[in-house]
Amino acid sequence: MLNLLKNRFGFDRFRPLQEEIISQALLGKDAFVLMPTGGGKSLCYQLPALKMPGMTLVVSPLIALMKDQVDALKANGIPAAFINSTLSPAEIDRTQTEARTGELKILYAAPERLANPGFQNFLSELKISLIAIDEAHCISEWGHDFRPDYRNLKILRNIFPGVPVMALTATATEKVREDIIRQLSLGQAKVFISSFNRPNLSYAVLPKKDSYDQLIGILQAHKNESVIIYCFSRKNTENLAADLREEGFSALAYHAGLESGKRKKNQEKFIRDEARIIVATIAFGMGIDKPDVRLVVHYNLPKSIEGYYQETGRAGRDGLPSRCVLFYSFGDTIKQQFFIRQIEEERERDNAYKKLNQMVEYCELSACRRRHLLSYFGEEYESEKCGGCDVCLSPKVEFDATVISQKIISAIVRTGERFGASYIIDVLTGAKNKKISERGHQKLSVFGIADDFSKVELRNIIGQLVSKKLIAKMGDEYPVLGLGERGKEFLKNRENILLSKPESGAEAIRKRTAFEVDYDRELFDQLRLLRKKIADEKGVPPFVVFGDLALTQMASYLPQSEESFSKISGVGEEKLKQYGKIFTEVIRTYAKENNLEEKNIPAGKPATARRAIRAGSTYEETKKLVQQKMSIEKMAKARGMTPGTITSHIEKLTSAGEEININYLRPPAKKMEKIARAFQKSGGSALSPVREILGDEFSYEELRVARMFLKS
């Protein structure tokens, strides 16, 4: 498998869980795979397809993705094809003939095809060894992207009763996972759940004030990089794209209302790097296999955490640092509620309200956003700070919030605990509106007592009080604020409280995270131009030639022989043969002109580009203590941090390829053996399932340290 991985795909090692999932397929057994975007789901069925007799059938709703994946497979010398509505009858006939004669190893098909009796007959003539169902959450009505066509997939079980099925998805809550398994009869399948954490992504929520000017500033920091901007409506996308073109940006609109030829052309230009920015509704992105998107902006509020997670997941699929920015105002919530009210089916409507309220809660957080996202999907994030969201990156300025908290809680109690945040804020700021005067609330002692705070500031403070459980939020359609248990104690005991002062966050989004990719940017730009020229000649997107990850490694290590070039991530036999001489010639010339020497590429290099730790950073300080062979407890004491934070530093240092010796931290053999068995039993690398198996015998820190050695 490792030989195939290197020779065909150009990778030296598997990503977490890939090897176990592939082994399950080769044993002819069913598998359910939950792996975030960019985690390497496609390889889980593409590699076993090469080892198994016959052909692998991949069902996917993503028409654009089919073409991109088939192009990428062909570039690696793997015979693959797709059948969907973009092909003519003659092209479909030709592809079906290739499938019947055994010329194909992988065939992609859209789910609606399965309802066609003629297509069912065609499939029954083939030797299918594996069925992969991508975007499997589409089968569940509890998912964020339910598609009725996916219910046709049950037919495959009847046509191919003994063939293993692999269901794959990037976003699914526990309820959706159970529904997928039930719908596809995967009761006996082994479940593989990868971490939802995307460490290369940074998250920020910015107040929607002067949002256009803020957006321009952010885009200027991402010149010549690929960007997706999500908008609420079709009209918004076209207006914003036009405004950005006026500013000199290469921006195009994309939405379902565009004429299909225009829509396809705009998408193609973005994929081929001819347009740097695509401004789109959520109709865009499902199936965009572009790995080098460096920024995803939500200009309006998403409908759900799942949708938001999946859309942000289109950033940085190559593992390189990328950003996710969301502009938030409560006004966007009102727009979403209007459309939810149009839903006729009560259960579906209630579910939509619930999801929207969860999204609002995320936007109003005063704690780590990454931790909150992971918690939503049932995963625990042990570190106190992720170092990759606006909350953790912005220095927190605390203020004495005792008086304003008392005023807010008093307003909630005096109005009868029957109103939402907007109404309470109106009362506190002394708003003169009809609803307040009808209820006589302008006569209350709390009316207008907080007019020295803005509405945005009050909403932020209310959000913090909710997260601290002083205030309880109740109901889905029209959430009302009530007094929480902690709130009663707070009032009764006349407690003091410190809260974080809201910051704009605009500067935080311009900061880099703790890691930065270390490479020669001028050489990178030369290699990018060469890649584009080759891609245009071949009529494929640039990333099919090489991804940004491969180019950053070339611009970092300067490989000047075919032997060293073959060690670059993504360089397999086929690409070495096609591009080795062309790229090494450009690198040799550049190195000679700038008096640079080739660097040794470490054997078994990590799957992401080596990242340099900034001198003087918090990670550098921990690294110095590790070099002194201090225990985790002593390091934590010396730095005034928790052991968990120190452990996360060490984990990031090792994954970034830093040369540090941590062997002295290795747990004793008996403990390691016990922990290793628990990880094996859990079927993944997440810590929570392992802790459940082992109980309180080991701390999270001990398990994390052990995991570093199990991964190496």
Could you tell me which residues come within 8 angstroms of residue 260 by beta carbon, excluding any fewer than 6 positions away? Answer: none
Distance CA 120, CA 156 (A): 9
Residue 372 has, within 13 A of its CA and on its CB side, a CA count of 22
Residues 188-203 pLDDT 10s? 899 998 888 888 899 9
Q: Are residues 233 and 115 in the same domain?
A: no
Distance CA 293, CA 316 (A): 6
On whether residue 45 sits in a domain, the answer given is yes
Crossing angle for the helix pair 573-593 and 521-538, to the nearest 10 degrees? 140
Nearest 5°: phi and psi at 166? -120, 115
The domain boundary residue, chosen from 543, 575, 593 = 593
Q: How many CB atoms lie within 10 A of CB 511?
A: 11
Q: Are residues 334 and 446 in the same domain?
A: no
On whether residue 657 sits in a domain, the answer given is no
Distance CA 445, CA 443 (A): 7
Q: Are residues 132 and 184 in the same domain?
A: yes
Encode burial over 314-349: b for 16+ CB neighbours within 10 A, e otherwise.
bbbbbbbbbbbbbbbbbebbeebeeebeeeeeeeeb
Instruction: Report whether 502 contacts 594 (CB < 8 A).
Output: no
User: How confident is the model at residue 267, as a pLDDT?
Assistant: 86
Instruction: Report whether 392 contacts 207 (CB < 8 A).
Output: no
Closest CA to 32 of 197, 186, 153, 135: 186
Distance CA 112, CA 176 (A): 21
Distance CA 644, CA 534 (A): 47
On whether residue 437 sits in a domain, the answer given is yes
CATH number assigned to the domain comprising residue 581:
1.10.150.80
CATH number assigned to the domain comprising residue 447:
1.10.10.10
| Helix, strand or coil, per DSSP, at residue 420 | coil
Q: Are residues 310 and 327 in the same domain?
A: yes
Q: Are residues 104 and 20 in the same domain?
A: yes
HEC sequence for 89-128: HHHHHHHHHHHHCCCCCEEEECHHHHHCHHHHHHHHCCCE
| Helix, strand or coil, per DSSP, at residue 169 | strand
Q: How many CB atoms lie within 10 A of CB 435?
A: 12
Distance CA 499, CA 305 (A): 26
DSSP state of 15: P
On whether residue 658 sits in a domain, the answer given is no
The domain boundary residue, chosen from 173, 193, 213 = 193
On whether residue 509 sits in a domain, the answer given is no
Task: Please identify every stretch of the chain with a pLDDT value under 50, giving residue numbers as ranges.
Answer: 504-516, 604-616
- Domain extent at residue 560: 515-593
Which runs of E-coded beta strand occur in 373-423?
Answer: 398-400
User: How confident is the model at residue 514, as a pLDDT?
Assistant: 35
Q: How many CB atoms lie within 10 A of CB 426?
A: 20
Distance CA 604, CA 338 (A): 53
Q: Could you tell me the CA-to-CA distances from 151 to 53, 65, 123, 172 in Å, in that order?
A: 28, 21, 17, 17
What type of residue is 167?
A: A
| Residue entry with tokens 């001028």 | 522
Query: Which residues share a beta bridge with 416?
Result: none
First-to-last alpha carbon distance for the chain, in angstroms, is 18
Distance CA 473, CA 27 (A): 49
Q: Are residues 188 and 205 in the same domain?
A: no
Q: Are residues 55 and 159 in the same domain?
A: yes
Q: Are residues 585 and 470 in the same domain?
A: no
Q: Are residues 572 and 459 in the same domain?
A: no
| Helix, strand or coil, per DSSP, at residue 53 | coil
| Residue entry with tokens 């090469």 | 50
Six-digit token string for 331: 């006004």
Distance CA 334, CA 367 (A): 24
Number of domains present in the structure of the chain: 4
Q: Is the dihedral of CA 505, 508, 509, 514 positive or negative?
A: negative
Nearest 5°: phi and psi at 418? -125, 5
User: How confident is the model at residue 227, as a pLDDT?
Assistant: 95
Percentages of the chain per state (helix, strand, coil), in multiples of 5: 50, 10, 35
Burial (0-12, 13-18, 19+ Cβ within 10 Å), 517: buried
Q: Given phi > 0 = left and psi -120 to 50 = alpha, else beta, which region is 551?
A: alpha
Instruction: Report whether 31 contacts 189 (CB < 8 A).
Output: yes
Instruction: Report whether 71 contacts 544 (CB < 8 A).
Output: yes
Q: Are residues 169 and 58 in the same domain?
A: yes
Which runs of E-coded beta strand occur in 426-495?
Answer: 471-474, 480-483
On whether residue 402 sits in a domain, the answer given is yes
| Residue entry with tokens 């060690």 | 567
Six-digit token string for 409: 């809680």
Planar angle of CA 50, 52, 54, nearest 5 degrees:
95
User: How confident is the model at residue 606, as a pLDDT?
Assistant: 40
- CA torsion 397-400-403-404 (nearest 10°) is 10
Q: Are residues 427 and 565 in the same domain?
A: no
> What Rg do the C-alpha atoms of the chain give, in angstroms?
27
H or E segment at 464? helix 455-467
Nearest 5°: phi and psi at 329? -140, 150
User: How confident is the model at residue 384, as a pLDDT?
Assistant: 73
Q: Are residues 285 and 370 in the same domain?
A: yes
Instruction: Report whether 81 contacts 99 (CB < 8 A).
Output: yes
pTM over 0.85: no
CATH number assigned to the domain comprising residue 29:
3.40.50.300
Distance CA 710, CA 663 (A): 12
Distance CA 532, CA 629 (A): 48
On whether residue 531 sits in a domain, the answer given is yes
Distance CA 231, CA 326 (A): 11
The domain boundary residue, chosen from 593, 625, 643 = 593
Q: What is the DSSP string of 626-647?
A: HHTT--HHHHHHHHT--HHHHH
Q: Could you tell me the CA-to-CA distances from 61 to 111, 352, 697 in Å, in that order?
A: 6, 23, 45
Distance CA 564, CA 580 (A): 10
On whether residue 681 sits in a domain, the answer given is no
